[in-house]
């Protein structure tokens, strides 16, 4: 088993499937899957539409250890109906959050909780376009249950988000990813609400050409999200890079993890208002306009540099409330 | 039959005490009247009790963001609504549970604004912030009742409505629209035959548009059949929510309670299996997961 | 539009050595691909059952051929094999089956 684990560490995170990511983000041999494919708890809604179901409904959930921290891991599979959230998929995610909370309570009350036994953390690897249209209503409702469960976990279970898959994280799952404590992205990862194709359809090809990969990535890609602080870390597209960062963050005290949040308090709303102000009245045409405002100069060089150099030199959005330093 | 598309203001007047709505006053703070006008927020009274009102006024476009019109929620709109919720929480932070003021959501939005600048800034944060604020207010005791009067579409409904304790909707006869995408859109994107989808929608509420489908899935708690019933129904819900929260039954309100309703009403039977199996497997895996050489259960 | 369900059964000599795995899983359900789940039946079982769910209707005889070949070369016995297929070509099916065979021998 360790051989498999070792092999996966050097592979691109983006190329691995959801189960491999969940398995390899945990310590070797620590991952226990819940509702594994053997349970065959598939979507009953897809077959009548002529869509073959998948045994895990496109999401892998399980328990493991990341460093010393017990973790509940959720990993979405974008190869199956675009990672779309349907009834089973959504309820599995909601239950993972609730079980993480329960695990935390049990760890604190029934297990010896010495300094180094760590705390339960939740790790979610997003790879989804949001609601699965074939089960749209149930998928939408599941999103609201996830957001509520996140709020219930606040101050109790730290939530670490990971975006490094080929689809990225779009639609309603964009809300969810922005509500985690710490978000880790790679260059491959993208985060947004409306997908490029839909924007093009609504605003026109002249303004947004969805086929222009560079434009798409600098609008929603990991580098831009790192600059706007939606992503706390940008890492190489390897399994190892993601795993090491997750383990590191999971070992932090809860307060330190929570301090990385970008939304979830009244003050953070005031901060975001200040960011939005920069874009009003068409002041921003391109993400790079924003990069310049934050003091980035040789942007093309920054864009082409490798991830560690980028992370070291990028000037990021200076957080602050409206009125703080205008 | 009349409908309320774009008539958030009229609906507020039908729900709150006559002449009591004060726009842009939230928890004692005055907001800039020119800020994101389609996100209509303010303070009113219902039978004398102070409430916060958050509504859509589709009559206003946002002159600062051109993709915000017809009730679409943009960057500023989501943040303004979130701000109103946090001001409400702050205003009552020292009050006991029974005195936390209710928040009334009047819902009529066709969704989130799909624009380039919205993606550059990250519009998901505006509406994510509003959802977290609402969940916090609900969990700290404020009764939140959503009244769907027109359109409750996709991400718009997610942030403005679906975090409420209870959701009421005017019946289909008022042209009330609740959905993620109309069937014709689903057919186009999924390449599934529209006739087949229409046929399946008759027996399965899981994907098709409509108030009754959402009711069967638990996504709507109650259907209101007449305009004049909105006010008494909202009041009755506030009383019921207060009673449940006073008893500490937080899982009997809000999104989780709607999942349970969906199971009871037969619309989310598979979710019930997921919940049961995952709980069982979790319990079985617990000792192995949390245990270990130096971390066994305390004797 | 509906999915087609196929079932095949094979009889053989029960395996002597049964260690390493209870179940294996490979592949994905996506256009032109499939997932395969193999579960071991209780020891001494001499029957293997294969259940296929596919969105490509009317290819029963092709499936029969591909599965016959796999069962003949792999001598898989006492297993239940579940396949969810979304229109994979015979070449892709063979690829996934050989991936499965590798996993069977590695573990």
DSSP string for A83-104: G-B-HHHHHHHHHHHHHHHHHH
Mean pLDDT of chain A: 94
Residue A323 is predicted with a pLDDT of 53
Residue C77 is predicted with a pLDDT of 81
Cα distance from B188 to chain C (closest Cα, Å)? 16
Asked if the structure places residue B31 within a domain, the reply is yes
Q: Do C37 and A38 touch (CB under 8 A)?
A: yes
Query: Which chain C residues have a beta carbon less than 8 Å from that of A51?
Result: 55, 86
- Interface A-C: count of C-beta contacts within 8 A: 52
What is the spatial distance between Cα A132 and Cα A155, in angstroms, rounded to a whole number? 31
Helices (H) and strands (E) in chain B, counts: 11, 10
Decide if B193 touches C, using CB distance below 8 A.
yes
Task: Kindly report the number of other CB atoms within 10 A of residue A95's CB atom.
Answer: 26
DSSP string for B71-112: T-B-HHHHHHHHHHHHHHHHHTTTS-GGGSPPEEEEEEE--B
Decide if A264 touches C, using CB distance below 8 A.
no
Query: Which chain B residues have a beta carbon less than 8 Å from that of A180?
Result: none
A176-217 pLDDT, tens digit per residue, is 999 999 999 999 999 999 999 989 988 889 889 999 999 999
Decide if A316 touches C, using CB distance below 8 A.
no
Residue C20 is predicted with a pLDDT of 77
Q: How confident is the model at residue A320 (pLDDT cuts 50, 70, 90)?
A: confident
Closest C-alpha among A326, A193, A273 to residue B80? A273
Residue C53 is predicted with a pLDDT of 98
Closest C-alpha among A106, A94, A110, A85 to residue A152? A94
Minimal Cβ distance to A49: which of C1, C33, C84: C1
Per-residue pLDDT at A322 exceeds 80? no
For residue A234, what is the domain's CATH number?
3.90.226.10
Order of all β-strands in the sheet with C34-40: C4-11, C47-54, C79-85, C34-40, C23-27
Per-residue pLDDT at C41 exceeds 50? yes
Residue C1 is predicted with a pLDDT of 64
State the best of B117, B202, B257, B258 to mutate against chain A, taking most chain A CBs within 10 Å.
B117
Cα distance from A301 to chain B (closest Cα, Å)? 20
Q: Which run of H or E residues covers position A256?
A: helix A254-258
B151-201 pLDDT, tens digit per residue, is 999 999 999 999 999 999 999 999 999 999 999 999 999 999 999 999 999
Residue C68 is predicted with a pLDDT of 92
Per-residue pLDDT at A326 exceeds 50? no
Per-residue pLDDT at C44 exceeds 80? no
Cα distance from A107 to chain B (closest Cα, Å)? 7
Minimal Cβ distance to C55: which of A38, A51, A55: A51
ipTM over 0.85: yes
Report the range of poorest mean pLDDT among A101-110, B40-49, C41-50. C41-50
Minimal Cβ distance to A54: which of C2, C3, C29: C29
Q: Do A54 and C35 touch (CB under 8 A)?
A: yes
Contact at 8 Å (CB) between C35 and C84? yes
Find the mean pLDDT for residues A241-258.
97
Q: How confident is the model at residue A115 (pLDDT cuts 50, 70, 90)?
A: low
Find the mean pLDDT for residues A255-262.
96
Q: Do B129 and A263 touch (CB under 8 A)?
A: yes
Residue A321 is predicted with a pLDDT of 61
Q: What is the DSSP pairing of strand B29-30 with strand B166-170?
A: unpaired
Looking at the DSSP bridge assignments, the partners of residue B73 are B112
Cα distance from A80 to chain C (closest Cα, Å)? 6
The token pair at B126 is 């505006």
Decide if A19 touches C, using CB distance below 8 A.
yes
Q: How many domains is chain A partitioned into structurally?
A: 1
Contact at 8 Å (CB) between A90 and A146? yes
Decide if A125 touches B, using CB distance below 8 A.
no
Asked if the structure places residue A277 within a domain, the reply is no
Asked if the structure places residue B250 within a domain, the reply is yes
- Interface A-B: count of C-beta contacts within 8 A: 299
Minimal Cβ distance to A136: which of B180, B218, B291: B180
- Give A128-191 as a 3 state SS string: ECCECHHHHHHHHHHHHHHHHHHHHHCCCCCEEEEECCCCCECCHHHHHHHCCCEEEEECCCEE
Cα distance from C20 to chain A (closest Cα, Å)? 11
* Chain A CA closest to residue C35: A54
Closest C-alpha among A125, A112, A20, A114 to residue A71? A125
Domains, in order of start, for chain C: 4-106 (3.30.230)
- Burial category of B32 from C-beta neighbours within 10 Å (exposed 0-12, middle 13-18, buried 19 and up): exposed
Find the mean pLDDT for residues A31-50.
97
Asked if the structure places residue B100 within a domain, the reply is yes
Q: Which domain holds residue B19?
A: 8-268
Residue B133 is predicted with a pLDDT of 98
C64-85 pLDDT, tens digit per residue, is 999 999 988 877 788 999 999 9
Neighbours of chain C (3+ CB pairs under 8 A): A, B
Neighbours of chain A (3+ CB pairs under 8 A): B, C
Minimal Cβ distance to A55: which of C30, C55, C84: C84
Minimal Cβ distance to B129: which of A43, A272, A280: A272
Q: How confident is the model at residue B299 (pLDDT cuts 50, 70, 90)?
A: very low
Q: How many domains is chain B partitioned into structurally?
A: 1
For residue B159, what is the domain's CATH number?
3.90.226.10
Query: Which chain B residues have a beta carbon less than 8 Å from that of A67?
Result: none
Q: Do C3 and A55 touch (CB under 8 A)?
A: no
Alpha carbon B2 to its chain's center = 23
Residues in C whose CB is inside 8 Å of some CB of B read: 1
Tell me the residue ranges of DSSP E strands in chain B: 22-23, 25-26, 29-30, 39-46, 49-56, 103-109, 144-153, 166-170, 177-179, 222-224
Decide if B47 touches C, using CB distance below 8 A.
no
**Segment 187-216 of chain A within 8 Å of chain B by CB:** 191-194, 198-199, 202-203, 207-208
* Cα Rg of chain B (Å, integer): 21
Q: Do C23 and A77 touch (CB under 8 A)?
A: no
Q: Do C28 and A54 touch (CB under 8 A)?
A: yes
- Greater confidence (A227 vs C105) lies with A227
């Amino acid at each position: 088993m360790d051989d498999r684990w070792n092999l996966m560490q050097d592979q691109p995170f983006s190329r691995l499937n959801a189960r491999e990511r969940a398995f390899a983000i945990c310590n070797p041999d620590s991952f226990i899957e819940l509702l594994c494919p053997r349970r065959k708890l598939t979507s009953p809604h897809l077959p009548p539409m002529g869509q073959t179901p998948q045994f895990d409904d496109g999401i892998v959930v399980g328990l493991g250890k990341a460093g010393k921290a017990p973790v509940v891991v959720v990993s979405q599979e974008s190869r199956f109906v675009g990672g779309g959230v349907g009834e089973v998929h959504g309820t599995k995610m909601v239950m993972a959050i609730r079980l993480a909370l329960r695990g935390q309570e049990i760890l604190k009350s029934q297990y010896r909780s010495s300094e180094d036994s760590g705390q339960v953390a939740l790790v979610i690897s997003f790879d989804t376009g949001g609601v699965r249209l074939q089960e749209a209503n149930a998928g939408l409702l599941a999103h609201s249950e996830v957001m509520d469960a996140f709020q219930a976990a606040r101050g109790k279970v730290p939530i670490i988000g990971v975006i490094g898959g080929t689809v990225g994280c779009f639609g309603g799952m964009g809300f969810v990813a922005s509500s985690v404590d710490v978000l880790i992205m790679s260059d491959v990862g993208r985060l947004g609400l409306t997908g490029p194709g839909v924007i093009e359809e609504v605003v026109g090809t002249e303004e947004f050409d969805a086929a222009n990969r560079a434009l798409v990535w600098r609008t929603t890609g990991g580098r831009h999200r790192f600059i706007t602080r939606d992503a706390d870390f940008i890492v190489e597209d390897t399994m190892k890079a993601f795993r090491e960062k997750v383990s590191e963050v999971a070992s932090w005290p809860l307060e330190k993890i929570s301090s990385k949040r970008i939304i979830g308090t009244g003050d953070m709303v005031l901060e975001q208002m200040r960011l939005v102000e920069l874009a009003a009245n068409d002041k921003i045409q391109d993400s790079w306009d924003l990069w310049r405002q934050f003091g980035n100069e040789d942007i093309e060089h920054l864009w082409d540099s490798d991830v560690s150099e980028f992370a070291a030199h990028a000037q990021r959005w200076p957080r602050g409330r409206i009125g703080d330093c205008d | 039959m009349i409908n309320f598309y774009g008539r958030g203001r009229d609906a507020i007047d039908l729900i709150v005490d006559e002449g009591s709505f004060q726009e842009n006053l939230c928890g004692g703070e005055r907001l800039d009247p020119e800020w994101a006008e389609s996100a209509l927020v303010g303070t009113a009274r219902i039978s004398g009790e102070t409430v916060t009102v958050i509504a859509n006024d589709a009559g206003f476009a946002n002159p600062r963001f051109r993709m915000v019109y017809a009730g679409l929620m943009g960057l500023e709109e989501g943040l303004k609504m979130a701000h109103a919720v946090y001001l409400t929480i702050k205003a009552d932070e020292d009050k006991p549970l029974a005195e936390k003021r209710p928040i009334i959501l009047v819902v009529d939005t066709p969704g989130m604004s799909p624009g380039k600048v919205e993606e550059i800034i990250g519009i998901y944060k505006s509406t994510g912030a509003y959802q977290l604020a609402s969940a916090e207010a609900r969990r700290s005791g404020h009764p939140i009742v959503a009244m769907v009067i027109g359109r409750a579409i996709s991400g718009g409904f997610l942030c403005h409505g679906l975090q409420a304790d209870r959701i009421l909707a005017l019946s289909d006869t008022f042209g009330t629209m609740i959905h993620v995408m109309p069937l014709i859109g689903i057919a186009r994107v999924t390449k599934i035959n529209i006739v087949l989808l229409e046929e399946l929608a008759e027996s399965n509420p899981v994907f098709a548009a409509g108030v009754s489908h959402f009711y069967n899935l638990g996504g709507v708690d109650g259907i209101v059949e007449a305009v004049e019933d909105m006010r008494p129904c909202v009041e009755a819900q506030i009383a019921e929510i207060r009673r449940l929260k006073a008893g500490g039954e937080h899982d009997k309100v809000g999104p989780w309670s709607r999942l349970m309703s969906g199971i009871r009403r037969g619309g989310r039977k598979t979710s019930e299996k997921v919940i049961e199996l995952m709980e069982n497997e979790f319990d079985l895996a617990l000792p192995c997961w949390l245990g270990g050489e130096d971390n066994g259960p305390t004797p | 539009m509906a999915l087609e369900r196929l079932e095949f059964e094979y009889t053989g000599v029960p395996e002597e050595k049964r260690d390493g795995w209870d179940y294996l899983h490979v592949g994905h359900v996506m256009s032109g691909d499939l997932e395969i789940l193999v579960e071991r039946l209780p020891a001494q079982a001499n029957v293997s059952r294969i259940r296929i769910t596919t969105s490509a209707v009317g290819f029963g005889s092709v499936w029969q051929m591909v599965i016959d070949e796999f069962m003949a070369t792999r001598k898989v016995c006492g297993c239940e094999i579940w396949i969810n297929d979304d229109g994979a070509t015979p070449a892709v099916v063979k690829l996934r089956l050989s991936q499965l065979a590798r996993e069977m021998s590695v573990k």
